[in-house]
Amino acid sequence: MKQAKTNILDTATPGMRAVVLAIRKDYGSGSNNRCRAIIRDMPAEAKAGFVVARHLDDAIALAYSMDSRRADKKGRDVGWRSRPFYGRKWILMQGAQAKLRDDRAKLAERLNRPIRVRQSTRREDLAIPAAKAVMKHGAPGGTRFHVRIAEVASYEVRTEKNWLRVNRGRDQWASLQDEHFIELLPTWTATIRRLGMATVEKRFILDATPFLETPGRSVWEARTARTGRGYQAVVETVWLSFYGKAVTVHTSLHAALNAKLPALQVEIERPLPDEDDAALSALAFA
């Protein structure tokens, strides 16, 4: 049997009903002072019998319960301080669709660029996060990364005072900022793709040349950058010894050629407790 519709304002007095509807219509800040101002501006005959000191909390609670009931009935969350929106699942769906549209727009914009610009963007997308992962950065005055193409790979960090960002303390001191200049070869992207990594043991790989390549074993001569004193970058040549995907860094070719296979981390199988054996036996003969 279908239940009859009920109105939560049926039991309220005419004055209470008028005040509740006025609060719902013109509710702004969510404070009692705002509600008092709304009631004060109402005509006296509309709020007849309503006492602010006695009935204000009941009127606010009744107005809130009306919105809660409306949200439960129509699947919407209608707040006094926000725009109406249709449920949490609808919001998640709209967010996913918006993200998909943004991704498609970014992909279309990237494909519409000239091939050289796309290569430069791809190089920056790979180099800057890798450099941030291993090189010291983040001075109070700000950090900037510049990726350029050069004939010789190099990494340079310059620090200078930024007077546009002054420490507002007792003294007017300029903030220190660090600027990273990364110069890479045109083949850097293909090189790190062959290596399978852009960083190794807190070093940024600027360039690498294979010295020995056999199935499962290779030795590379690499030019890398690491953090030195302060924000300084130290560029040096090292040797990378690969056993499959396992890699070790060495300062000489002799050490790289004679490097042993890195110890593999094998998970040791521990015996099961008695209660686990009993449970497995019960499951096996169930």
Residue written as tokens 């725009």?
83
Question: Is 124 within 8 Å of 198 (Cβ atoms)?
Answer: no
202 has pLDDT over 60 = yes
19, 91, 94 from 97: Cα distances, Å: 41, 10, 5
DSSP bridge partners of 205? 224
> What are the residue ranges of helices labelled H in 140-271?
188-195, 253-257
Lowest mean pLDDT among 9-13, 141-145, 149-153, 200-204: 9-13
Global confidence as pTM? 0.55
Question: Is 235 within 8 Å of 206 (Cβ atoms)?
Answer: yes
74 has pLDDT over 90 = no
The dihedral sign for the CA sequence 118, 121, 125, 131: positive
Q: Which helix (H) or strand (E) holds 111?
A: helix 87-111
Give residue 203's pLDDT: 95
Closest CA to 191 of 108, 249, 126, 276: 126
| Average pLDDT over all residues of the chain | 79
Pairwise pLDDT comparison (161 vs 137), residue with the higher score: 137
Give residue 188's pLDDT: 93
Which pairing describes strands 233-243 and 246-250: parallel, antiparallel, or unpaired? antiparallel
Which tens digits make up the pLDDT trace of 150-190? 999 999 999 988 777 665 555 577 788 999 999 999 999 99
Buried b (16+ CB within 10 A) or exposed e, 121-146: eebeebbeebbeebbbbebebebebe
